[in-house]
Chain A
Amino acid sequence: GQNIDQPTEMTATEGAIVQINCTYQTSGFNGLFWYQQHAGEAPTFLSYNVLDGLEEKGRFSSFLSRSKGYSYLLLKELQMKDSASYLCAVIDSNYQLIWGAGTKLIIKP
């Protein structure tokens, strides 16, 4: 079966750095997305990785290792508004999106 694992919840301090991990086992791989979802709102696109390595976009970076079936989202200089759920999703061999359950990130002052 296809499976994506993320921690259920993480807590971090304002101004700090946090890394949210995602491991996947899917039938084929055509890329990986990270989305942010604030409570009661729609998911919004953060990043896309298809090649190994780090993609940096401002305070957010996303890393991919295809051989390990592993990705992480790195958030720097955390702000209170970063409190949200972060969803990992993998495009499988049929170009369907397989979604993880999401990681709820709590930022404390």
Chain B
Amino acid sequence: NAGVTQTPKFRVLKTGQSMTLLCAQDMNHEYMYWYRQDPGMGLRLIHYSVGEGTTAKGEVPDGYNVSRLKKQNFLLGLESAAPSQTSVYFCASRSEDRVVEPQHFGDGTRLSIL
């Protein structure tokens, strides 16, 4: 059981380039999340989804877009990368069986913008 898988694990971009981060989960979870984690700060929610075909903005959505075309996949896009987006990005998912189910995290994508 793979759980939550993120690709790629590492990436270096130049300012202005675009890219898509992929998150895939095989636990049939309804809820999926994208976070960024920066030194000295807590996890900050970028966007989330409560089911296939739905997306919603989190705390820091500017500069990012997301799509949830399939239940198992949640994509995070950077249309024009900026150095401020250098961070570690985590995807998480949880079931809706109970409102307070813990989130399960992927191993992260380390993204550097030069």
Contacts and interface: CB of A to CB of B under 8 A. Distances in A.
B100 A102 contact: no
A102 B106 CA distance: 18
B74 interface: no
A41 B43 contact: no
Interface residues of B, number: 17
Interface string A76-102: 000000000001010100011111111
A99 B105 contact: no
- Chain A interface main SS type: loop
A91 B105 CA distance: 17
A2 to B, nearest CB: 10
Given A4-B42, A87-B43, A42 B102 contact: no
Interface in B66-114: 90, 99-100, 102-108
B45 interface: yes
B42 A42 contact: no
- Chain B interface main SS type: loop
B99 A102 contact: no
A8 B90 CA distance: 21
Contact of A42 (B40, B44, B99, B105): B105
B107 A42 contact: yes
A44 interface: yes
Contacts of B103: 45, 97
B42 A101 contact: yes
Contact of A43 (B44, B45, B105): B105
B54 to A, nearest CB: 15
Contacts of A98: 42
10 contacts: A30-B99, A44-B105, A87-B42, A89-B43, A95-B99, A98-B42, A99-B42, A99-B43, A101-B40, A101-B41
Interface of A: 4, 8, 30-31, 33, 40-45, 48, 50, 87, 89, 91, 95-102
